[in-house]
Structure 1
Amino acid sequence: MSKPETKCWRNDAYAKVTGKAKFTDDLKFVNALHAAPAYSDFVHARILSIDTSAAEKVSGVIRVLTAKDVPGVNRFGQIIRDYRIFADDKIRYHGDVVAVIVAETREIAISAAQLVKVNAEPLPAVLDPEAAMLPDAPLVHENHGSNIVNTHVVRRGNVDNGFKQADFVIEEMFRTQTIEHAYMETEAAICVTRSTDGVIEVYGSMQHPFSTRRFVAACLGVALSEIEVIGTPMGGGFGGKDDTAAIVCARTALAAKLLGRPVKMVYRRDWSMRESYKRHPYRVAYKMGVTKAGRITAVQCRIVADGGAYCSVTPWVTWRSTVQCCGPYVVENVHCDTFGVYTNNVVAGAMRGFGSPQMNFVIEQVVEMAAVKVGISGIEFRRRNMVRQGSVTITGQKLDGHKVAMEQVLDAVLKEIDYEKKLGWCSHGKTSTTPQGLGVRQPSAAVEREPAFESGGGPPQSKTLSRELEQDELYGMGVAMSYRGVSLGAEGVDFCSAIINAQADGSIFLETGIHENGQGSESAMLLICAEELGVDLNRIRYRRSSTSSIPDSGTTVASRGTIMGGGAVTLAARELKKKIAEAFCEKLHCAADEVRFKDNFIWGKATRMECGDMSPLSSTRHVASFQSADMSTHSKISFAEAMRQMWAMQKFPFALGVFRAPRVSWDEHTGQGDAYFTWVYGCQAVELTVNKRTGKVRLLNAVAAHDVGRAVNPEMVRGQIYGGMAMSAGYALHEEVKAPGGKMTTLNLNTYRLPRSMDLPEMKVIIVENPDPVSPTGAKSIGEPANEILAPAIANAIFNATGVRHFSLPIKLGAMPEATACEEGCK
């Protein structure tokens, strides 16, 4: 098989780098109209009337749509149907859309949107989630009865007894901030009423076409079959293009249906940031008991997540936080209470990590604090408490169906970054002496910096940047690790489909229910298909799916694309091989289960010599490693000829593969059960400096090791990890959505601080492969695990540099006095 081994392969790379790829805004339809949203200036108010008359009078405006124009339902959602397509009874946050202006040009629509007036009765805004939980708090949704969206619990053992057994108790309050996804392409949609049958075609920048179809069909009051959502290249999502993107598509589809013309709506950045959901800000009260021997005896925690004005997926996000509230550690006694809460803040929903980044920021600092109390290193404390093969999680799940690689990834990172040695260099707030092994340079000295990436091997470790300090810099090293349940878990039923359709000339169409979000899922599916069928990649054409051509296979979220989609592709390929083998085994002079697939040929049983490693009918191999061999004694037929003959036999070389994830269990009253069908493990470490005079943090070097099951496309795996670490660095040090009084002020990328290239460290990635027995490909996941642990590693490194612990994100430092003596936990 023509599979690149050392370079990153992507089927869409050429189209994207040359500008040939057509994103939503690139699509053009004759006689298309343009739409723009209209907002009010209220944060919480009861709507009395919406005056659209001035907007309607603008030359070029075709129609102004409000809630009264919705023929179906105006309120929808994935869990609770509280999301408003258009604000109807109340304004619940500053991003509520009250109307959509449809006009001949985008400029006219935007101008007219400013003329929509909302007459409303202001209501008290509840912006603090703790205050929102009080009995007398103003209600965001009166019919819900309270501002508590959902609750989750974990009850294991007896925490009172656990704390009695403890010699030390660590207790602290943590806060994390609201952050923006900051995808390059904003929300966009173009909808067309098909003239032949009246079906609404929807093209848009979205992560989940099937979820979008449900929103659109509900809004229009039509059957799902009346809506076809067509896959379109997307410029980033990171979890952020589900609910909001679906609602943008629903409003656009409504305009197209009512007006009988194509309608396009492309969001400006300020609309996107104002309206779209964000990562949940958390408040976590955390208490841990430990013995003098360094064993965790009990954990008690209270998690409050600000869900904003609508439910979105808050119950699912907070469920993962609850399941993983003790991190990758064995704890016999746990009492966790989690609350998702309505407020009048911007909506919070899915974002890369899905409730794990917040909790890992907490847990990985608490274990370091506990280690100081006990008098051992943070690494030793982790080793004494981490999950291992056969360990039982806090929800009662025994980890025995896969390789538990927690210690493996930890050891890989510690070795690569030379952690034990460098930990002794940490400044702990003092600059009076130079750490042994580090050179001090003058502030004016040039900093040598190697290229960020080396061909074929990932980014190098900086040789000078991590060895030289400016005179006022403090040096620190930090580590964090995590485990993560793969895919949806008990959040939903998990299965996925794939179609392989071979043509009479031997070419192949491949289609899956996984959506290409820019992460390279199509490329992974093609590699898996080619390997399993034993054919060249250039023989296979990936057919971008629509909701009318493939069964609903769930959301492309939760890092489930490769394990679920790849599993479906593998099973489809095996089904196709079975059909081919049964059709040709007699001609190949062998039994059907002896037929092999390799090098674009279908082979019969060998009669002499070694025949190499060919793809068998029921292959359970996880890595292709073909070796040359003399096949002269084999009966064989080319793949192309076999397909021609199958068509002549009136046998379709077509297969549908369905991968059904193993069932999981969950008791919502106790928080016990097998929450996920498998897990992944990761560890990251970082070196940094902090300038005592300015508080500026300089990230020097970072190392990550992740068990991904099997790396289908290794360089893309590295890319996922680099990207995850970059996002996590922004989470730790820079990013924060600011909305004083509920009105967002960070409405563009010039006011919302993203990490720049020079803010990022040199990065080294170690891919650990332990093929998962449940996964047909052996692959698991990496997109979210890479994003959830650099922030706590940075927090731990800042403590080791400054002697000051930070319990809120983003970490903000100013000028610091010279440290004297500091116990863990000082602020």
Structure 2
Amino acid sequence: MEHIGKPVKRFDFDAKVEGRAQYCSDIHFENMLYAKTLRSELSRAKITSIKIPEMPEGYFIVDHRDIPGENIIPSVYNDQPFFAGDEVKFIGEPILLVVGPDRQKVQDILKSIKVKYEPEKPVLSIEEAMELREGFIFGDKPFFVEYEYSKGNFEKAVSSSKFFVEDEFRTGYQEHAYLETQSMIGVYEKNCITVYGSMQCPYYIKDALKQALGWTEDRIRVVQLPTGGGFGGKEDYPSIPGVHAGLTAIKTGKPVQLVFDRQEDFIASPKRHPSIIKIRSYIDDHNRITAREVDIKTDAGAYAGLSSVVLQRISFSVCGVYNVENLKVTSRAYATNNIVTGAFRGFGGPQAFFAVEMHMENIAEKLNIDSLELKKKYFLKKGDTSSTGGLFNYEIKLDEIAEVIEKKSSYKRKRELFSNGKDQLRGIGCSIFFHGCGFTGDSEKKLNKSKVRLKKYKDNTVEIFASSTEIGQGSLTTLRKIVSRALGIPIEQVKHQYPDTYCCPDSGPTTAGSIGNQEFKKHDRIRRRKRRYGQI
């Protein structure tokens, strides 16, 4: 392939457009059973008893007692169980599974199970969490994690300011609304478990199965199926249904399909973090922003999940594309008895950018100047430092971008036209922000393993083995293009299938705009080996 940027038809296009792609709910193994989850109906309670009816032959109950290893999801804080034990912390928390050959019968059994609770006072908002002095959800404090950083001489800038502008912005939950709900199939054969399903990170699920089962990794296999969207909602969460599907298959000795209906997916799966962001900007005698103080609060829900990493991204993003030399940023992710919040496209960035952009609008109104003109004055430039003190070594083209946007949108003319207030349903604004592809902090080094294996066959075709998943972004085609270019062979000679942990190395999670292609940059090394039969 001569030019990597040359458009090609996606290799998964025909199967998906023609309806031939086999998603999890389309697949049926012989003697397959179906599972359904009994979930908590209370947001915080002790479980005092569970009354299960006499089970018909061929039907099963699976719960925390069927976990031979650890009943804890491997994550940043390791605080969330695969199944609730003697307590529940949010509505929708999984308690047990009913498994059997008839879906309706499974549903009927589920409805007949009676759970007796001893309710406890729930914490249902950030404000309630802040007021707690006892009865904490997590440890001995009302939050999972807190961060603080500063830049410049904040106190001196504040003392010399003339006045300040302060705003508080609130954002709510947001649902991923992917087309395909959470879906998994577990198959137990020859003393090994295979989990097929809709996912972003096969090795996350494999690690979760290792922890729950206490097995060696050679007995565990995870295979991605065509996946109908993820947007972060299928990053870490599928570890739960993945383990559930595996446990049910092991206990029953038969393939088991676990597919959420839409309502269940809404109730149980993670959401975007609600936030409260307070920003105070200090202005001097010359109407210049000399300092900025930001306080961020998020609702992490009942378990920590990825909230610590999301909070880091919010904390770094909340300063936007503006060079304010004196900063103070504090943030906390509060524990509540709400749904667990987690990864969602932008990973905290949208909440932060909404707040800082609206705050700049309000400052401009206070100073009686156009908001875009105000923003231009503070655009980051080469030689400036980021909010955390990193030096920008390269040109930043924000001025040029803003100029083009102004011209192409007729911004100034429309702004003046709509400012008379006669038509309250029409207006124009301009929001400018950055997008951070990649992982926060040192996670780029830790998580983005970028491993790949290539195999050359006798017919001169080359196959790619990588665990970077196809979730709509085009990795099944993109990685083919890279290999075609690196080896100088037609793209039609390159094979690439959905990831299978039995044959694909851990390429790192498919998140943050990454598809783990760094290894393919070593063109010379690949070319030197391309004539050899076998591993490249």
TM-score range, shorter chain: over 0.9
Question: Runs of 5+ in structure 2 lacking a partner?
Answer: none
User: Cα RMSD between the aligned structures?
Assistant: 2.0
CA drift at 1:574: 3.1
CA–CA distance in 1 between the matches of 2:286 and 2:457?
Answer: 66
Give the 3-state SS of the residue equivalent to 1:289 in structure 2.
strand
Shift in CA distance, 480/347, structure 1 to aligned 2, threshold 3 Å: same
Q: Which residue is equivalent to 1:523?
A: 477
Consecutive unaligned residues of structure 1, counting only runs of 5 or more, are 432-472, 581-642, 656-827
CA separation in 1, counterparts of 2:477 and 2:70? 38
The equivalences for 1:776-787 within 5 A come to: none
* Separation in structure 1 between the aligned mates of residue 372 and residue 256 of structure 2, nearest angstrom: 57
Partner of 2:110: 113
Matched, 1:577 2:527: yes
Counterpart amino acid of 2:319? Answer: C
Q: Confirm or deny: 8 A CA contact 2:46 2:87 kept in the other structure.
A: yes
The structure 1 segments of at least 4 consecutive aligned residues displaced by more than 6 Å after TM superposition are 2-6
Distance in 1 of aligned mates of 2:78 and 2:517: 32
Question: 1:419-441 CA deviation, whole Å, 9 max, x = no partner?
Answer: 1222111145334xxxxxxxxxx
Task: Kindly indicate whether the alpha-carbon contact (under 8 Å) linking 1:60 and 1:104 is maintained by their aligned counterparts in 2.
Answer: no
TM (norm. structure 1) is 0.62
1:554 maps to what in 2? Answer: 508
Listed as ranges, the matches of 1:349-428 within 5 Å are: 349-400=342-393, 402-427=394-419
- Please, which of 164, 171, 175 is the counterpart of residue 159 of structure 2? 164
Q: Distance in 2 between matches of 1:268 and 1:206?
A: 16
Residues 462-502 of structure 1, C-alpha deviation per residue, up to 9 Å, x if partnerless?
A: xxxxxxxxxxx532001111123330131522331122222
Partner of 1:329: 322
In structure 1, which of residues 521, 543, 553 is the aligned counterpart of residue 497 of structure 2? Answer: 543
**Secondary structure, in 3 states, of the residue corresponding to 1:75?**
coil
Asked whether the equivalents of residues 293 and 374 of structure 1 are also in contact (C-alpha less than 8 Å), the reply is no
Other structure's SS at 1:155 match: strand
Instruction: Give the superposition deviation at 1:321.
Output: 0.7
Per-residue CA shift, 1:263-318, capped at 9, x if unaligned?
A: 11111111111111100000111111234555321111111100001111000000
Q: In 1, distance between residues paired with 2:113 and 2:356?
A: 48
Counterpart CA distance in 1 for 2:57 and 2:404 is 63
Q: Does 2:345 match 1:348?
A: no
CA, structure 1 residues 63+229, in 2 after alignment: closer, same or farther (shift >3 Å)?
same
Is 1:285 aligned to residue 278 of structure 2? yes
Partner residue, 1:97: 94
Which aligned pairs between 1:713-724 and structure 2 lie closer than 5 A?
none
Shift of 1:533: 2.4
Distance 1:67 1:191, change over 3 A: same
Shift of 1:16: 0.5
Checking the alignment, whether the CA contact within 8 Å between 2:484 and 2:494 is kept in structure 1 is yes
In structure 2, how many angstroms separate the alpha carbons of the residues matched to 1:5 and 1:188?
A: 34
Q: Given that residues 284 and 303 in structure 1 are in contact (C-alpha distance below 8 angstroms), is that contact kept between their aligned partners in structure 2?
A: yes
Compared CA separation, residues 556 and 6, structure 1 to 2 (3 A): closer
Give me the whole-angstrom Cα distance separating, in 2, the residues matched to 1:292 and 1:429. 31
**Residue of structure 1 equivalent to 2:434:** 483
**Structure 2 residue identity aligned to 1:150:** V
Contact 2:476 2:497 in 1 (8 A): no
Q: State the Cα distance separating 1:7 from its structure 2 match.
A: 5.5
**Is 2:261 aligned against 1:268?**
yes
- Could you tell me which of 220, 227, 244 is aligned with 1:227? 220
**What do the CA deviations read for 1:29-63 (whole angstroms, capped 9, x no partner)?**
111111000123211101112222x1x43x46521
Per the alignment, in what secondary structure is the counterpart of residue 369 of structure 1? helix
Q: Is the 8 A contact 2:309 2:440 kept in 1?
A: no
Q: For residue 626 of structure 1, what is the aligned residue in structure 2?
A: none
Residue 14 of structure 1: how far off its partner (Å): 0.5
What is residue 254 of structure 1 aligned with on the other side?
Answer: 247
Is the contact between residue 465 and residue 505 of structure 2 (CA under 8 Å) also seen in structure 1? no
Contact 1:291–1:297, Cα closer than 8 Å, also in 2: yes
Asked if 2 retains the 8 angstrom alpha-carbon contact of 1:189 and 1:205, the reply is yes
Report whether the alignment pairs 1:14 with 2:11.
no
Counterpart of 1:181, as a letter, is H
C-alpha separation between the residues in 2 aligned to 1:370 and 1:171? Answer: 9
**Structure 2 residue matching 1:130: 3-state secondary structure:** helix
Quote how far apart the aligned CAs of 1:4 are.
9.8
Pair 1:302–1:32, CA change in 2 (3 A): same
Given that 1:77 and 1:243 are in contact with CA atoms closer than 8 Å, whether structure 2 keeps it comes out as no
Match of 1:188 among 183, 189, 195: 183
Q: Find the residue that maps to 1:49 and give its secondary structure.
A: strand
By relative contact order (CA 8 Å, sep 6+), the higher-ranking structure is 2
1:151 alignment partner, one of 133, 146, 149: 146
The offset of 1:403, in angstroms, is: 4.4
Contact 1:154 1:323 in 2 (8 A): no
Residues 244 and 496 (structure 1 numbering): CA distance in 2 closer, same or farther, change over 3 Å? same
Contact kept in structure 2, 1:154 and 1:395, CA below 8 Å: yes
Q: Which residue of 2 aligns with 1:505?
A: 459
Render the CA deviation track for 1:125-171: whole Å, top value 9, x for unaligned.
11011221334253224xx2222100111221232322233344110
| C-alpha distance in structure 1 between counterparts of 2:25 and 2:92, whole Å | 23
Q: What percent of counterpart residues are identical?
A: 29
Match of 1:77 in 2: 74
Residues 1:408 and 1:137: Cα distance change in structure 2 (over 3 Å): farther
Q: Aligned partners of 1:285, 1:71: CA distance in 2, in Å?
A: 46
Q: Flag the 1:370–1:516 CA change in 2: closer, same or farther, 3 A.
A: same
Deviation of 1:532 after TM superposition, in Å, equals 2.6
Relative to structure 1, the CA distance from residue 420 to residue 519 in structure 2 (aligned partners, 3 Å threshold; closer, same or farther) is: same
Seen in structure 2, the aligned counterparts of structure 1 residues 5 and 319 have a Cα distance that, compared at 3 Å, is closer
* Contact 1:236-1:517 at 8 Å conserved across structures: yes
Paired residue for 1:496?
450
Go from structure 1 to structure 2 and tell me whether the alpha carbon gap of 1:107 and 1:491 turns closer, same or farther (over 3 Å shift): farther
1:5 Cα offset (Å): 7.0
Q: Distance in 1 between matches of 2:216 and 2:117?
A: 35
Q: What SS does structure 2 have at the residue aligned with 1:497?
A: coil
Aligned counterpart, 1:764: none
Change (3 A) 1:405 1:551: farther
State the secondary structure of the residue aligned to 2:429: strand
Determine the C-alpha separation between the residues in 1 that align with 2:467 and 2:288: 45
| 1:152 partner amino acid | Y
| Number of the residue aligned with 2:517 | 566
Letter in 1 for 2:301: G
Q: Deviations over 1:611-653 (max 9, x none)?
A: xxxxxxxxxxxxxxxxxxxxxxxxxxxxxxxx4xx44xxxx4x
Q: Which amino acid aligns with 1:78?
A: S
The partner residue of 2:309 within 309, 316, 338 is 316
Q: Give the total of aligned pairs.
A: 533
Q: Does 1:37 align with 2:34?
A: no
Residue 6 of structure 1: CA displacement? 7.6
Corresponding residue for residue 534 of structure 1: 488
Distance apart, 1:183 and its partner CA: 0.6
8 Å CA contact 1:183–1:236 kept in 2: the answer is: yes
Question: Residue 201 of structure 1 aligns to which amino acid in structure 2?
Answer: T
Match in the other structure for 2:421: 429
Separation in structure 2 between the aligned mates of residue 115 and residue 157 of structure 1, nearest angstrom: 63
Q: Report the structure number with the largest CA radius of gyration.
A: 1
Residue 59 (structure 2) pairs with residue 62 (structure 1): yes
The answer as to whether partners of 1:287 and 1:301 remain within 8 angstroms in 2 is yes
Q: Distance in 1 between matches of 2:8 and 2:283?
A: 46
Instruction: Tell me the distance in 1 between the aligned counterparts of 2:426 and 2:41.
Output: 47
Q: Which whole-Å CA distance do the structure 1 matches of 2:526 and 2:245 have between them?
A: 40
SS of 2:169's equivalent? strand
CA distance in 2, matches of 1:176, 1:521: 32
SS in 2 for 1:501: strand
* CA distance in 1: counterparts of 2:338 and 2:58, whole angstroms: 32
What's the TM-score, normalizing by structure 2?
Answer: 0.95
In 1: Cα distance, 2:182 partner to 2:104 partner: 17
